[in-house]
Chain A
Amino acid sequence: MAALETGQTPAERIELEIVRHKLAALTREMGAVVANSAQTWEIAEQRDFALAIADRHGELAAIDNPLQLGSTTFALRAALDAFRFDMKEGDVVALNDPHRGGTHVQDLTLVAPYVVDDAIAGYLVARGHMPDLGGVHAGGHHPAAREVWAEGVPITPVKLRRHDRPVRDVITTIALNSRRPEALLGNLDALLAALRLGRRRGDELVGAHGIARVRAALDHAQGYAERRLRAALRGWADGGYDGERALDHDGAGGGPVHVRVRAEVDGDRLRLDFSGSDAERASFVNSAFGNTVDHALGALLALVDDDVPANGGVLRAVELRCAEGRVVNPRRPAAVGWGPEHCGREVAEACAAALRQACGDGGGAGVGAIASPRPLVTFRPRARRHERTSLTRLQTGGCSAADGRDGWGSPHLLSRAELPSVEQWEAEHGRRIVALRQLPDTAGAGRWRGAPAVETVVELTGEELLTLCACGREIPVAGTAGGGDGGPAAVVLVEDGDGGGARDAPATVVEQPAAPGRIAIAVGGGGGWGDPHERDAELVLADVLDGIVTATAAEAVYGVVIAGGEVDEAATTRARAQREERNDGR
């Protein structure tokens, strides 16, 4: 609304900025409430939740978790489609339907109207990952799922509370469909508490700035994000760019899953079309459209300079499209359980691959791979079906390099999750983590190298039923601008005793008894950026001394010869020169 912008005094503009920041801060504060009061690791550690504030049209003005901008927006719209004219103060609508804007059934979204003077001024949204909502296996990750009903119970928009009172049959029914009703209700309380806080702070904001200003700020925040993004896009070269990324397999015996995007940059507008992607699969790798949009925008925001606030303004500048029945926009009742990981991450990589070309030499071009494949590995004790231990959460590392820096830690899109402390984890699970270490020669080589793969080794007693879906073993993280690919991910089973020994785990395993021994999981190493031969030899030396790169690899890949703990300058120059000649030879 340019009208509001113009004719504003600087003081007013400053006040709008203040309110905008307060709104963003408020979503983070609400997030803290959720993180601190929730009882499950998905929320407390993985930080798998999102808190948002929307204007009265249902467009987000602020969200604490940029990676759920799209799905949260769509979920809010779905809730409003059902109750637009039946939302009163004290009402709370709940939904999780992946085929109505959601991601997968475990992500439950609550929507509450924010009412001032009996009129709806906006909406508060709280979403969190629920421990279990029925389906075949606790936790809902079921590689063989052919329909969403095998992953849990879809909840279309229902009133959870009316006039500040609980709707008993609805709440009881939701809990009844969970193997862990107490934890689920606990998480619900956490989300509700966040909504209450949002309401209280909202009243304070209105008290301090007046409803008109707050309304204006809700719009201003989006206008600001939109202007920032459009400005960035104008810096890009107009034209169409294709990006593609594949997932090794679909978890149900199907071959590589291809996600393809066509990006069209036109002045300050961007269109992303995923219709070229593979058809939906009869397995849990499909990505619900909301989730697809999340990852696409995640990539976009990573490539434009990254303090463009994530909110409805971004959606104003970007048009996202995908034909129905694609693996990234499956039809009801397709299964979508693993989508938020895979092939959600393939969506992000495909977009990054396409947009990098558009950036020209803008900042974005310097960004390497922004995610890395993480094998799904969970198990439960044979006797207790409700328990489920995830080793995925112990996986870390694999960040790719960018122009000007080596990769370190976890990739951009995965950095929200905290790695649990080994001590705490062992205490919780009463089982040993045998090792948690970086592996040599797994970092994608390059002028800037990726982060090495991190291997996690955990002991298995033989009492476990294992469910896993390996990925990143055939298709590693790609290098950028001449950089090398990262080392492949790995899932290895090591059986105790002789006759045992290490073997690669099958691509997919569902509730199989594990043999006593150990399981070793490594995410792929990050991809490198730029020509390894351009890497500063001293940095290579440091990596060799740190055991990240072996001397052999240093010479073979980087053309850096190490002798006696020193860089052999002469040999290095020779080695690097020889390659030049070979190249000229061709």
Chain B
Amino acid sequence: MAVDPITAEIVRSSMESIAAEVVQTMVRTAVSPMFNEAHDCSAGVFYYDGEEVSLVSRADAVPVHIFASLTSVEACLEFFHGDLAEGDVLLVCDPFYGGTHLGDYTVVKPIFIDGQPIFFPSVRAHMLDVGGPVPGGNSPHSTEVWQEGFRFCPLKLHEQGIVRQEIWAWLKANNRLADELEADVAAMIGGCTVGEQRLRDLCARYGVEVVKEALTQVFDASERSLRSQIAAWPDGRYRAESLVDSDYAGGADLPIRVELTIDGDELTADFTGTAAQSPGLVNSVPGNTLSYLYGVFAALCPDVPINSGFFRPLRAVLPPGSVVNPRPPAATAGATVVVGCDVGEAIMKACEQFAPELVGTATIDLCDFWSFGVDARSGAYSIHYDYLCSPCCTGGTAGADGWGAWSPLFCALDLASIEMTEIQYPELYRQAEYTTDSAAPGQWRGSPAYAMQREAYQAAGTVEVTCSVQALRHPLHGYAGGRPGAGNYAIMRHGSDDELVVTEIAFMEPTADGERILWQSGGGGGWGDPLAREPARVLDDVLDELVSPEGARHDYGVVIDPAAMAVDEEATAALRRELRAARAAEPDWIALGRRRTLERTGLLAAPEVAHAV
């Protein structure tokens, strides 16, 4: 049946608003700050045409998060083949059974129309605890998936509309925050139920056949868009790599290598040469790896509706047994961001070679920070995963400086309100502020790095914290001549004479009331040659105390007359000539903020730094 493009567009935009309502309901009814404050969850509508599963629309939070749910829905159909019924509600988590890491739970609700499961509203959310030996499931000592928490294959939470109490009890017995888990998963189901209602309305209004056909056209349209874009790029092979600082299990500088092959309107990403699978917890299963491939191209084509059609021209070669396609029982708890984001960065660096005007930092690179302790005010045990310690990741792009906190693909993750956090957790924040000279220099600079200081406050006894640092030796890349970000690090007992500088990981480190912890969140990469930056913009940054006069000279070759607070044109021109020559000789020159970071963490001497910056 043919459907006019208008109806197709109507179906498409309706699907978008359905996904939005699903996640709305979820976020508003969840109990964990992880969702109702941080929005570390996402929703999607998936479609099954009898042969393959497609992503129709998505909403909220991190897009790569829900892209990865494709495999979750596929796993459900695979596992329950011939055993799926109206009223079933399914739950997925296992990295080797359709999930990405045990922490991400995905609720999938098959919607039957005319007796066929056609639509799957789905919510994916990151659980704070999933049982296992270590709270939060995030232990650097984990070397196999069993050590990361309770594993399960796709489970039926509801069976033909009936709640399976036994399964809920089982899940709760394997969780340190059982009540929160119950409420949050209930909220996820609530979201899917709202989605079901709207999907049924839509099909009732247009007829399911029309909707199906419309979707086919919607997919085709997105596919055409990307193909035309790829075709416009020159054929060829483009290699790049991005290094993972550490797998917390003895492995350092793990290379993520990619070769993009553009052939007509097809693009293949081959990861041959990438590090072998790690004994640590950073292994990224294909669902996760692919989601970053999709994410990067979504960021390169922001005006194209994202759905499975968009993914079709993209192929990937993922060597089995590598860190981007590990074999069971690899540990994966830390993979979603750690390796995933380097996958994104490697791809972006490769794209830089044929589409420099489009690229920039699209992913993030984190310090993970967990604290485990008892709140003296309530006596309750609390697990706090604190995003506030490393949110500054945005890079410069042709035409815009980096700004704000998260880079686009992650900017739906709401940073918690400091005031709300202090009420919910026994903590006191002392600083959360940009630092001077820390922004990655470029014609368009990255967002400044940021310093966050925090201390335990009104905690009962010691609080144990785990802090894992990435992107210190290998910060977020600069593009088209821009410099890399300053890099992340943390300092425990900051300001005391017994400081612990964390360059890789501190695991279950005890802290007590009043002990400061400091993080630097390094900011995204710069874009283009810093010496090409308009002096007026540099002056603005100086006035805003984002760049010091010294930094203006050192990084941008701009001389500021301190009396007039104005640019000294001549001196600037001269200095820039000088620097241009010097940098031609030393392309890997180290920007001021980066240098300070390396000095503070005692890395400057380290040889690997040379190729790191």
Tell me whether A and B are bound partners.
yes
How far apart are the CA atoms of A153 and B151 in the complex, in Å?
A: 9
Interface class of chain B by DSSP: loop
Judge if B132 is at the interface, Cβ distance under 8 Å: yes
Judge if A82 is at the interface, Cβ distance under 8 Å: yes
A528: chain B residues within 8 A (beta carbon) = none
A176 touches B131 (CB 8 A): no
A154 touches B154 (CB 8 A): no
Judge if A424 is at the interface, Cβ distance under 8 Å: no
How far apart are the CA atoms of A555 and B94 in the complex, in Å?
A: 68
Known: A147-B133, A385-B144. A177 touches B150 (CB 8 A): yes
- The smallest beta-carbon distance between A99 and chain B, in angstroms, is 8
B166 touches A149 (CB 8 A): no
- The smallest beta-carbon distance between A74 and chain B, in angstroms, is 16
B149: chain A residues within 8 A (beta carbon) = 149
Judge if A112 is at the interface, Cβ distance under 8 Å: no
Of A47-55, A155-163, A232-240, A498-506, the segment with at least 4 beta carbons within 8 Å of chain B is A155-163
How far apart are the CA atoms of A188 and B97 in the complex, in Å?
A: 22
Point out the residue from A159, A169, A179, A333 that lies within 8 Å of B329, measured CB to CB.
A179
What 1/0 mask marks residues of chain B from 154 to 189 whose CB sits below 8 Å from any chain A CB?
A: 111000000001110110111010000000000000
How far apart are the CA atoms of A142 and B134 in the complex, in Å?
A: 13
Judge if A135 is at the interface, Cβ distance under 8 Å: yes
- The smallest beta-carbon distance between A167 and chain B, in angstroms, is 9
- The smallest beta-carbon distance between B84 and chain A, in angstroms, is 12
Known: A156-B166, A169-B156, A176-B97. A97 touches B173 (CB 8 A): yes
Point out the residue from B155, B172, B329 that lies within 8 Å of A173, measured CB to CB.
B155
Known: A156-B170, A385-B143. A136 touches B133 (CB 8 A): yes
- The smallest beta-carbon distance between A133 and chain B, in angstroms, is 9
Known: A158-B166, A169-B79. A176 touches B151 (CB 8 A): yes
Known: A156-B173, A159-B166, A168-B83. A145 touches B133 (CB 8 A): yes
Point out the residue from B146, B152, B154, B173 that lies within 8 Å of A135, measured CB to CB.
B146
Judge if B153 is at the interface, Cβ distance under 8 Å: yes
A173 touches B153 (CB 8 A): yes
How far apart are the CA atoms of A158 and B146 in the complex, in Å?
A: 20
Cβ < 8 Å to B, chain A residues 129-187:
134-136, 142, 145, 147, 149-150, 153-159, 168-170, 172-173, 176-177, 179
B278: chain A residues within 8 A (beta carbon) = none
A155: chain B residues within 8 A (beta carbon) = 170, 173
Point out the residue from A97, A149, A157 that lies within 8 Å of B133, measured CB to CB.
A149
B143 closest partner in A (C-beta) = A385
- The smallest beta-carbon distance between B327 and chain A, in angstroms, is 13
B166 touches A134 (CB 8 A): no
A173 closest partner in B (C-beta) = B152
A170: chain B residues within 8 A (beta carbon) = 167
Cβ < 8 Å to A, chain B residues 115-159:
131-133, 143-144, 146-147, 149-156
A149 touches B152 (CB 8 A): no
A134: chain B residues within 8 A (beta carbon) = 132, 146-147, 150-151
Interface size on B, residues (CB 8 A): 30
B83: chain A residues within 8 A (beta carbon) = 168
A97: chain B residues within 8 A (beta carbon) = 173
Interface size on A, residues (CB 8 A): 28
A333: chain B residues within 8 A (beta carbon) = 176
Q: Which of A135, A149, A153, A176 has the most CB of B within 10 A?
A: A149
A172 touches B174 (CB 8 A): no
Point out the residue from A142, A153, A176 that lies within 8 Å of B174, measured CB to CB.
A153
B90 closest partner in A (C-beta) = A169
Cβ < 8 Å to B, chain A residues 63-84:
82-83
B94 touches A176 (CB 8 A): yes
Point out the residue from A145, A157, A169, A179 that lies within 8 Å of B154, measured CB to CB.
A169
Cβ < 8 Å to A, chain B residues 47-97:
79-80, 83, 94, 97
Known: A173-B152, A177-B151, A179-B146. A135 touches B166 (CB 8 A): no
A150 touches B150 (CB 8 A): no
Point out the residue from A142, A145, A158, A172 that lies within 8 Å of B153, measured CB to CB.
A172
Q: Which of A134, A150, A156, A385 has the most CB of B within 10 A?
A: A134
B142 closest partner in A (C-beta) = A136
Count A-B contacts at CB 8 Å: 76
A169: chain B residues within 8 A (beta carbon) = 79-80, 152-156
B155: chain A residues within 8 A (beta carbon) = 169, 173
B131 touches A153 (CB 8 A): yes
A135 touches B174 (CB 8 A): no
B150 touches A153 (CB 8 A): yes
A176 touches B169 (CB 8 A): no
B146 touches A177 (CB 8 A): yes
How far apart are the CA atoms of A156 and B178 in the complex, in Å?
A: 14
Cβ < 8 Å to B, chain A residues 101-148:
134-136, 142, 145, 147
B79: chain A residues within 8 A (beta carbon) = 168-169, 172
How far apart are the CA atoms of A147 and B174 in the complex, in Å?
A: 11
A149 touches B146 (CB 8 A): no
How far apart are the CA atoms of A159 and B94 in the complex, in Å?
A: 21
How far apart are the CA atoms of A157 and B165 in the complex, in Å?
A: 10
- The smallest beta-carbon distance between A522 and chain B, in angstroms, is 32
A156: chain B residues within 8 A (beta carbon) = 166, 169-170, 172-173
B166 touches A157 (CB 8 A): yes
A142: chain B residues within 8 A (beta carbon) = 133
A149 touches B132 (CB 8 A): yes
B152 touches A176 (CB 8 A): yes
Point out the residue from A149, A168, A179 that lies within 8 Å of B131, measured CB to CB.
A149
B166 touches A82 (CB 8 A): yes
A177: chain B residues within 8 A (beta carbon) = 146, 150-151
What 1/0 mask marks residues of chain A from 546 to 574 whose CB sits below 8 Å from any chain B CB?
A: 00000000000000000000000000000
Q: Which of A136, A179, A385 has the most CB of B within 10 A?
A: A136
A176 closest partner in B (C-beta) = B151
Cβ < 8 Å to B, chain A residues 419-455:
none
What 1/0 mask marks residues of chain A from 83 to 106 whose CB sits below 8 Å from any chain B CB?
A: 100000000000001000000000
A172 closest partner in B (C-beta) = B153
- The smallest beta-carbon distance between A384 and chain B, in angstroms, is 12
How far apart are the CA atoms of A149 and B139 in the complex, in Å?
A: 14
How far apart are the CA atoms of A150 and B134 in the complex, in Å?
A: 7
How far apart are the CA atoms of A321 and B18 in the complex, in Å?
A: 57
A135 touches B170 (CB 8 A): no
A158 touches B167 (CB 8 A): yes
A169 closest partner in B (C-beta) = B155
Between A and B, 25 residue pairs with Cβ closer than 8 Å are A97-B173, A134-B132, A134-B151, A135-B133, A135-B147, A136-B133, A145-B133, A149-B132, A149-B133, A150-B132, A153-B150, A156-B166, A157-B166, A157-B169, A158-B167, A159-B166, A169-B152, A169-B153, A169-B154, A169-B155, A170-B167, A173-B151, A176-B152, A177-B151, A179-B146
Beyond A134-B151, A145-B133, 11 additional contacts (C-beta under 8 Å) are A82-B169, A134-B150, A153-B150, A154-B173, A156-B169, A156-B173, A168-B83, A169-B153, A172-B153, A176-B94, A179-B329
Across the A-B interface, give the 8 residue pairs with the lowest CB-CB distance, nearest first: A150-B133, A134-B146, A173-B152, A172-B153, A156-B169, A158-B166, A156-B173, A176-B151
